[in-house]
Amino acid sequence: MKSTTCDVIIIGTGMSGMAAALFAARYGLDTALVGQTGELGFASGLLDLLGVHPVNGGAVVADPWQGIAALQRDAPQHPYARMRIADIREAFRVVLDFLKAGGYPYTASPHANQTLPTPVGTLKTTYAVPHTMAHGPAALANRTPCLLVDIDGLKGYSARQITAGLADRWPGLRPVRISFP
């Protein structure tokens, strides 16, 4: 009879849980990833690296790697300060390669964060975005006129709310609501 034990059990269904399971499995550990799928409703799918530093100042970081170097100087007890930048880069490369090999590639610039609109009409700074969201940062940066479509009855996304929240920064947005089917 085959044993049902494993070397490590990782609890979590978000990107950090997936990354922890990936690295454990790469080191040859028999790994199980468990958690409740209810958390997925709060997951953006974005891969953040460092978007704001210092936090109290609220300064958006254009280059996350330069931001990490500053964080390492300013907060030597922060987890990023306890790692070499080369190791952080390699970890991100491994995760991005894994996602690409699995058919869900992400886009990331080697030395720049991306800014994209959120479902509530605010802006979010992040490092890597799923390929399905790749046009959002460019459209925002170029202020490309866009039609935002939402579906009547769909919760958590309002084209009108996004348009209202970004009107001063992105005047070319227009909302429309459709019924489906």
- Note the pLDDT of residue 177: 96
Q: In whole angstroms, what is the distance from residue 96 CA to residue 103 CA?
A: 11
C-alpha of 142 from chain center = 21
Asked if 99 contacts 128 with a C-beta cutoff of 8 angstroms, the reply is: no
- Note the pLDDT of residue 31: 79
Asked if 21 contacts 31 with a C-beta cutoff of 8 angstroms, the reply is: yes
Percent helix, strand, coil in the chain, to 5, is 40, 20, 40
Residue 14: count of CB within 10 angstroms of its CB: 15
Q: In whole angstroms, what is the distance from residue 9 CA to residue 28 CA?
A: 13
Crossing angle of helices 15-26 and 85-101, rounded to 10°:
100
- Note the pLDDT of residue 36: 63
- Note the pLDDT of residue 1: 47
Question: Which residues have C-beta within 8 Å of that of residue 146, sequence separation ≥ 6?
Answer: 139, 170, 172, 173, 174
Asked if 39 contacts 18 with a C-beta cutoff of 8 angstroms, the reply is: no
Task: Indicate left, alpha or beta for 85 from its phi (over 0: left) and psi (-120 to 50: alpha).
Answer: alpha
- Note the pLDDT of residue 51: 93
The whole-number mean pLDDT for each consecutive block of 10 residues of the chain, a chain of 181 residues, reads 64 72 83 65 76 89 96 93 94 92 93 91 93 93 95 89 94 94 79
Predicted structure pTM score:
0.80
Q: In whole angstroms, what is the distance from residue 30 CA to residue 7 CA?
A: 5
- Note the pLDDT of residue 3: 55
